[in-house]
Amino acid sequence: MKTRRNFLQKASLSALALHLSPFTPISAMSKEFLNTQNDDTPLRVAIMGLGSYGTRVAKAMKDCKRAKLVGVISGTPSKIEAWQKEYNIPAKNCYNYENYHQIKDNPDIDAVYVITPNGLHKEHALGAAKAGKHVISEKPMATNAAEAKEMVDGCKAAGVKLLVGYRMHFEPKTQAVINMRKDGEFGKVLFFQGLSGFVIGDPSQWRLNYELSGGGAMMDIGIYSINGARYMIGEEPIWVTAQETKNNPDKFKEGVDETIQFQLGFPGGAVASCLSTYSMNNLDKFFLNGTKGFAEMQPSTGYGPIEGRTNKGPLTQPHVTHQTLQMDAMADIILDGKEPLVPVDGEEGLRDMVIIDAIYKAVKTGGKVSLI
């Protein structure tokens, strides 16, 4: 077993960290969302895990109005030093993986954003919670539903909030489609398609290490189609079927999925057909079809501007860096108790983990797995 520091140093080598604004429709965003920005009370955040995605979040937070980066937790001293200079972080707010529990004595930090490998999320989230800090966990929130439930229960017991980094829940074009569906503009929803994938690189990275990732493409990119199916259809699935294809077993070891096709059934009669892969590019597409209309988004979850159209025309909502919107919105949730359009709490993350567990079970059994 390698050291945790080595695990986290490998995490920083991965340039692939695809992960899911305001709480209201885009038409109402300026009034309600900007009102919250007038509050001078910031959410003071320490980022745990200074790899590629942690860096992306930190840069996005420079433009936040309500959330502020004030601390770091890392096993690499050189990274801590660089971040101190880049983000003006005082030495008293810098910790490593051995002493971060001392954060409980630091009143200048309100929340810890856990952006370490999946297999360390539970340990790090519960450590932060026991220190009395609110927790934001990057997704997937854990490696399985049992771990996710432990995180939910542990944060409740500690009296702190647990949120999950579902950035797409705050993205304006995504919110516009959700609101159209809620308003009945698509009629009865019948079908959803989610295509999530890319060709992954470095075979030695932590995302291809089962102990750290808990799986493969499904954990990293397939979760977007799972979560997207739920918020686009607006229901919770009641069954799942799945099939796995593995063409490169040398790269994708036991337990690390390369490609999985999966299907979800919903109580209203809608079905979802989705693909999760680490072996194909040009896959970032959502399609929703109903009796009165449709929505198509491509790219649907990437970092750059989301593009899409519905039967009524193109989606024209403005692009704002997703992580900037996410962190300001999460500040509103933690500090003011605001309710987002789509939940981002631990229970939301737990639901995705239950579905992922069922997908892996369906792959092994070849049968339909009930979710009720």
Q: pLDDT tens-digit profile of 320-355?
A: 999 999 999 999 999 999 999 999 999 999 999 999
Q: How far apart are CA 332 and CA 134, in angstroms?
A: 13
State which H helix or E strand residue 80 sits in. helix 77-87
Query: Could you tell me if 151 and 224 lie in one domain?
Result: no
Query: Could you tell me if 24 and 139 lie in one domain?
Result: yes
Q: Which domain holds residue 360?
A: 168-317+346-370
Is the model more confident about 13 or about 368? Answer: 368
Q: Quick one: residue 306, left, alpha or beta (phi over 0 = left, psi -120 to 50 = alpha)?
A: beta
As beta bridge partners, residue 242 has 262
pLDDT band at residue 218 using 50, 70 and 90 as cut-offs = very high
With a CB cutoff of 8 Å and minimum separation 6, the contacts of 3 are: none
pLDDT at 12 > cutoff 70 = no
Query: Could you tell me if 174 and 292 lie in one domain?
Result: yes
- How many Cα atoms are found within 13 Å in the side-chain-facing hemisphere of 116? 29
Position 70 in a domain: yes
Query: Are 208 and 252 contacting, i.e. CB atoms less than 8 angstroms apart?
Result: yes
End-to-end Cα, the chain, rounded Å? 37
pLDDT score at 34: 38
Query: Could you tell me if 134 and 179 lie in one domain?
Result: no
Q: How far apart are CA 223 and CA 275, in angstroms?
A: 10
| CA pseudo-torsion sign 314, 316, 320, 326 | negative
The catalytically annotated residue of 10, 133, 139, 161 is 139
Position 236 in a domain: yes
Within 10 A of 142 (CB to CB), how many other CB atoms are there? 29
Query: Could you tell me if 213 and 127 lie in one domain?
Result: no
Q: 179-207 pLDDT, tens per residue?
A: 999 999 999 999 999 999 999 999 999 99
Residue ending a domain, choose from 167, 191, 217 = 167
pLDDT at 37 > cutoff 90 = no
Query: Could you tell me if 143 and 181 lie in one domain?
Result: no
Position 11 in a domain: yes
Of the candidates 193, 180, 208, 163, the residue with the CA atom closest to the CA atom of residue 326: 163
Annotation marks residue 161 as catalytic: no
Q: How far apart are CA 90 and CA 355, in angstroms?
A: 41
Strands of 67-73's sheet, edge to edge? 94-95, 67-73, 43-48, 111-114, 134-137, 162-164
Q: What is the 3-state secondary structure (H, E, C) of 267-333?
A: CCCCEEEEEEECCCCCEEEEEEEECCCEEEECCCCCCCCCCEEECCEECCCCCCCHHHHHHHHHHHH
pLDDT at 27 > cutoff 90 = no
Q: CA of 29: how far to CAs of 57, 319, 321, in Å?
A: 22, 13, 15
Position 329 in a domain: no
The position carrying tokens 């979040």 is 57
* Phi (first) and psi of residue 42, to 5 degrees: -90, 155
Residue ending a domain, choose from 103, 136, 167 = 167
Q: What is the CATH number of the domain that holds 353?
A: 3.30.360.10
Query: Could you tell me if 163 and 173 lie in one domain?
Result: no
The total domain count for the chain is: 2
With a CB cutoff of 8 Å and minimum separation 6, the contacts of 153 are: none
Average pLDDT, the chain: 92
Position 186 in a domain: yes
Position 121 in a domain: yes
pLDDT score at 20: 33
Averaged pLDDT for residues 2-19: 40
Q: 243-277 pLDDT, tens per residue?
A: 999 999 999 999 999 999 999 999 999 999 999 99
Q: How far apart are CA 283 and CA 19, in angstroms?
A: 14
Query: Could you tell me if 99 and 186 lie in one domain?
Result: no
Position 241 in a domain: yes
Position 86 in a domain: yes
Query: Could you tell me if 271 and 176 lie in one domain?
Result: yes
pLDDT score at 290: 98
Going along 13-151, which residue ranges are E strands?
A: 43-48, 67-73, 94-95, 111-114, 134-137
pLDDT band at residue 39 using 50, 70 and 90 as cut-offs = low
Is the model more confident about 36 or about 327? Answer: 327
Query: Could you tell me if 210 and 224 lie in one domain?
Result: yes
Query: Are 138 and 329 contacting, i.e. CB atoms less than 8 angstroms apart?
Result: no
Annotation marks residue 95 as catalytic: no
Q: What is the CATH number of the domain that holds 144?
A: 3.40.50.720
pLDDT score at 307: 98
Query: Are 170 and 325 contacting, i.e. CB atoms less than 8 angstroms apart?
Result: yes
- Specify the length of the chain in residues: 372
**CA quadruple 162, 166, 172, 176: dihedral, nearest 10:** -90
The catalytically annotated residue of 53, 113, 166, 224 is 224
Query: Could you tell me if 159 and 195 lie in one domain?
Result: no
Task: Tell me the helix, strand and coil percentages in the chain, rounded to 5.
Answer: 40, 20, 40
Query: Could you tell me if 122 and 199 lie in one domain?
Result: no
Q: How far apart are CA 194 and CA 201, in angstroms?
A: 22
Question: Per mean pLDDT, which range of 13-27, 52-66, 73-87, 347-361 is the poorest?
Answer: 13-27
pLDDT band at residue 40 using 50, 70 and 90 as cut-offs = confident
Residue ending a domain, choose from 147, 167, 187 = 167
